[in-house]
Amino acid sequence: MAAPPTTPGDPETTLLHPTTLDLGEHRIAVIGSNGSGKSTLLRLLNGLHAPSAGTVSVRGNDTVRALRQVRRDVGFLFTDPLSQLVMPVVVEDVELSFKATIKDRTARRSAALDALDRLGLGHLAEHSIYDLSGGERQLVALCSVLAAGQRILVADEPTTLLDLRNNALLQDTIASLDQQVIYATHDLGFAAAAERLLVLDDARIIYDGNPAAGIAAYRSLALHGRIR
Ligand SMILES: Nc1ncnc2c1ncn2[C@@H]1O[C@H](COP(=O)(O)OP(=O)(O)OP(=O)(O)O)[C@@H](O)[C@H]1O
């Protein structure tokens, strides 16, 4: 992938400097300070951002030319769950994710209720998404994206709104998944659980490798003000 995407309104702004990456590991974490480019990098992976130069491909599919196939392969969990919850009632949102795989309505409802139960959210099934707490919404969004069953999950700071118990639940859930997960986080413990770590600073990847060494370097650079 080589991608310096620019904003439509300001073609001079480089959001990510030219980058070549092959992301094959089962669990890849992305860390870096606010505004360093983590979301930009993740958004390139499912075509939410198009690169202004170079290409991004997922399983051989170009994220611009084969966007529909890329979206079939890559689920995206947004930092703000309201960016992705489209139905007004919790169970309906999860049901919608099953639409491609379960044609029968009753079976779909039952699958959605089971999925909610597995994340301890069954009691919220009939609630309006607008009446949920931020953390509850974040877990419902996780439930919905998992129900869609894509091969790859990209998650942008998925623990931001979660308390200690639900943070552990989300991390355990992610650890148990078969699919590849690429996630941005400010939780260095969560980042340490990955197989590979990318550290971003000022729209550049400044570290790519073993999480323990990368986290130690990031901590030291950030605390000494040598990271933006
Ligand atoms: N569409 C856009 N137009 C203009 N600037 C943008 C756009 N998207 C992102 N940026 C800028 O690019 C930089 C990187 O943003 P990005 O969201 O990738 O950061 P981040 O590392 O995910 O930050 P955070 O930890 O705060 O979520 C920021 O300075 C942001 O303001």
Q: Does ligand 1 lie within 6 Å of residue 185's CB atom?
A: no
Q: Does ligand 1 lie within 6 Å of residue 48's CB atom?
A: no
Interface predicted TM-score of the whole assembly (ipTM), two decimals: 0.94
Q: Does ligand 1 lie within 6 Å of residue 17's CB atom?
A: no
198: pLDDT confidence band, cut at 50, 70 and 90?
Answer: very high
Is 228:201 a contact under the CB 8 Å cutoff? Answer: yes
Helix, strand, coil shares, percent, the chain, to 5: 40, 20, 40
Q: Does ligand 1 lie within 6 Å of residue 37's CB atom?
A: yes
Q: Each residue of 137-190: pLDDT tens digit?
A: 999 999 999 999 999 999 999 999 999 999 999 999 999 999 999 999 999 999
Record the pTM: 0.92
Q: Does ligand 1 lie within 6 Å of residue 144's CB atom?
A: no
Pick the residue whose CA is nearest to atom 8 on ligand 1: 40
13: pLDDT confidence band, cut at 50, 70 and 90?
Answer: confident
d(CA 50, CA 6): 9
- 74-77 and 152-156 beta bridge pairing: parallel
Residue 79 CA, closest ligand 1 atom number: 27
Query: Residue 76 is which amino acid?
Result: F
**Statement: residue 97 has pLDDT above 80:** yes
Tell me the domains of the chain and their CATH numbers. Answer: 28-223 (3.40.50.300)
8: pLDDT confidence band, cut at 50, 70 and 90?
Answer: very low
